[in-house]
Chain A
């Protein structure tokens, strides 16, 4: 009998415990807020002593690229500030977006978000507009934005305020395997300063002679951006209204894209992993993307000397066509949960917004600076063996200066997605392009109304 009583008691305890856990939530939350206030005070006190002491937590996603750059920056900063600590969490871009959504909805950003978050350039505006209280306004923070390239800074400006410290360049490059081009009777010059129509003609020859597509991409998502930005196009007009259906530039780009897809000179991939994999193993003869793609290309170190880079084709048949564009690239943001903003800003001022040494150090990983002073350093003029001794870094710096400036919009990613879907429907289900673009515009405007 006693045992039975104990058992019942234990059950009851378990139940009560679970229930208590739920109702106790409210008070626990208040306690947390107080804690945070205390921490802030302490942090404030610490600031008066040494600005460089303390810890920064960072979210970014690539061990060989941006995580590597962050750690390199910490190395430099630690030289003068030995008490500085950095903690990087590897978390994919998609997961970052998800965590922002969940933590803001639950109101626990203080527990979840780090001090610094890296975003793809195309997502900064979306996130800042979606969560206006999460990101720190850096306009008057003391970071000198005039030292970054203008187009790059524009990616993280929302309503005239700066929300990000630019990191790597997204200047578009076309990189080709010269050995494969040679098999088809071409050199890199045949693909320099060309139009898309010429490019497709030549790419067909490559396909015919070598059986390989010239480039590939993860659906049309990035490729469309490269093409659109090269002629200063956008999915939105100057007032931020949707401009997809009836947009000459978008239509022309879709036509060109569909043409190369049909000719088999562009290979669509489903996953990021197969995209990179096919570039590395020579299943496609080249790659076209933001210049950060170099870090992926260079990973196949047995292909040293076989690669060369050049500018991207221009969209023929539209106004403002150029051979320069951008895609991707990324920007550091500081969250309002950062308990030591002075430290964060000092850190960035001494590194990503103020250290040639840092940019020289991370150059071999393929991270090209958008911080203008870095482009003048000696490291940037070196010839790179992997690319047949081309001075690739200075070439990219030059490309960067010629990129048309494009507007950003919070619904940029949604619009891109919708246009990709339109392209896919035309290519694979035989739909009509004009109708699909109208449908795409409807989809995005449906998403924008709420």
Chain B
């Protein structure tokens, strides 16, 4: 009796999970199928994989610099991610390990930035950028995103789980403060770094509004900008468009797949409180 109840419960659980998984993943499956079809088939709702993927790719690479845009996006996101997790993890560590009243208050103040709507700061930022010559540059792209309160908080909360006596012991052994951070904190906190890197990479990769504002050179285009351009022409090749959407989504998926286990672990410290 108990056993059937158990199996029914299990069955319901799985059904719910399958439904939500399908809800979430279906649009992408549809893109995947669409990317293999011709434009005409896609708009008429064909739902079986076609043979047009190579042709779609040819059209895409003929009309758009898809490699250039991919490279730009990878470059911006990678630099952004590395810079952000270094800067934010040091800061998060600093806020926690060396915490005192002033630093705690300062952190509270920084939390205010989460409330600043980006639309409000876009224009002033652009004006400063114009003066500093940061337009169309990788540095310009990453600067507003490198230091984010969310990421600092992630590392700050996680630092709590880092045993203090290790630090004390290392200090007695004559290790420098920076040494402790790089040699001990970083390797133990792999999961947190994975979580931070995943979030950062996705945000940077998909950042369209900011890129659109500061990038105007052909050579600085990103994948989201390229996709956006594709939807305004006199003719829209859906096969090519869907393939571009697919290409623009794959890297973030791969990063998540690769880091997902540590991603969940890394978040654990952040939400423990």
Direct contact of A and B (CB under 8 A): yes
A61 touches B229 (CB 8 A): yes
Residues B48-89 near A (CB distance < 8 A): 63
**A271 within 8 Å of B by Cβ?**
yes
| 8 A Cβ contacts from A71-115 to B | 87, 89-95, 98-99, 102-103, 105-108, 111-112
Chain B residues near A280 (CB-CB < 8 A): 39-40, 43, 235-236
Size of chain A's interface in residues, with CB distance under 8 A?
52
Q: Is the C-beta of B216 less than 8 angstroms from some C-beta in chain A?
A: yes
Q: Is B231 touching A102 in the complex (CB atoms < 8 A)? A: no
The answer to whether B234 and A299 touch across the interface, beta carbons within 8 angstroms, is yes
Interface centre among A25, A61, A94, A292 (most CB of B within 10 A): A25
Contact B235 A276 (CB under 8 A): yes
* Partner among A3, A61, A103, A300 whose Cβ is within 8 Å of the Cβ of B233: A61
Interface size range on B against A: 20 to 34
Query: Do the beta carbons of A366 and B234 come within 8 Å of each other?
Result: yes
B216 adjacent to A272 (CB under 8 Å):
no
**A64-B43 contact, Cβ under 8 Å, with A7-B176, A106-B127:** no
A64 touches which of B44, B177, B234 (Cβ 8 Å): B234
Nearest Cβ in chain A — how far from B64, in angstroms?
A: 8
Say yes or no for A21: interface residue by CB 8 A criterion: yes
CB neighbours (8 Å) of A89 from chain B are: 216-218
Q: How many angstroms from the CA of A271 to the CA of B233 in the assembled complex? A: 12
Residues in B neighbouring A1, C-beta threshold 8 A: 176
Segment touching A, from B5-13, B112-120, B129-137, B159-167: B129-137
A22 touching B176 by the CB < 8 A rule?
A: no
A109 closest partner in B (C-beta): B130
Q: Name the residue on B nearest A66 (C-beta).
A: B234
Residue from B40, B128, B177 whose CB has the most chain A CB atoms within 10 Å = B40
Bitwise, A287-302 to B at CB < 8 A (1) or not (0) is: 0000011011001101
Q: In the complex, what residues of B have CB within 8 A of residue A102's CB?
A: 123, 126, 130, 213
* Interface flag for A277 (CB, 8 Å): yes
Within 8 A of B (CB), among A5-53: 7, 21-22, 24-26, 28-29, 32
A98 near B233 with CB under 8 A, answer no
A22 to B44, CA, bound (A): 54
B179 at the interface (CB under 8 A from A): yes
A415 CB to nearest B CB, Å: 23
> Nearest Cβ distance between residue A376 and chain B, in whole angstroms?
26
Check if A299 sits within 8 Å of B131, measured CB to CB: no
The answer to whether A277 touches B238, judged by C-beta atoms less than 8 angstroms apart, is: yes
Among A61, A65, A112, A277, contact of B236 (Cβ-Cβ < 8 Å): A277
A26 to chain B minimum Cβ distance, whole angstroms, is: 7
Is A389 located at the chain interface by the 8 A CB criterion?
Answer: no
Evaluate whether A272 and B213 lie within 8 angstroms (CB atoms) in the complex, with A4-B178, A89-B218, A111-B130 already known: no
Contacts of A366 in B (CB 8 A): 234
User: Which chain B positions have C-beta within 8 A of A24?
Assistant: 132
Q: Is the CB–CB distance between B235 and A299 below 8 Å?
A: yes
On whether A111 and B231 interact (CB within 8 A), knowing A103-B130, A106-B126, A280-B40, the answer reads no
B187: min CB distance to chain A, Å: 18
A281 in the interface, Cβ–Cβ < 8 Å? yes
Known: A22-B132, A106-B131. A65 touches B234 (CB 8 A): yes
Q: Which residue of B lies closest to A59 (CB)?
A: B216
Complex formed: what's the CA distance from A29 to B179 in Å?
A: 41
Smallest CB gap from B87: residue in A? A14
Report Cα–Cα, A380/B106, bound state, in Å: 72
Complex Cα–Cα for A105 and B178 (A): 43
Does A63 interact with chain B (Cβ within 8 Å)? yes
Contacts of B232 in A (CB 8 A): 61-62, 92-94, 272
- With the chains together, A32 CA to B130 CA distance in Å? 11
Q: Which of B27-49 contact A (CB under 8 A)?
A: 39-40, 43-44
Q: Closest 8 CB pairs between A and B?
A: A108-B130, A106-B130, A299-B235, A25-B131, A106-B127, A7-B178, A281-B43, A295-B234
Query: Given A87-B218, A276-B235, list of 20 further CB < 8 A pairs?
Result: A1-B176, A3-B176, A7-B177, A22-B128, A22-B132, A26-B131, A89-B217, A91-B216, A92-B229, A92-B232, A103-B130, A105-B126, A106-B129, A107-B127, A112-B216, A272-B231, A273-B241, A277-B238, A280-B40, A281-B40
B interface with A by C-beta (< 8 Å): 39-40, 43-44, 63, 123, 126-133, 135, 176-179, 212-213, 216-218, 228-229, 231-236, 238, 241
Report which A residues bind B (CB closer than 8 A): 1, 3-4, 7, 21-22, 24-26, 28-29, 32, 61-65, 87, 89-95, 98-99, 102-103, 105-108, 111-112, 271-273, 276-278, 280-281, 283, 292-293, 295-296, 299-300, 302, 366
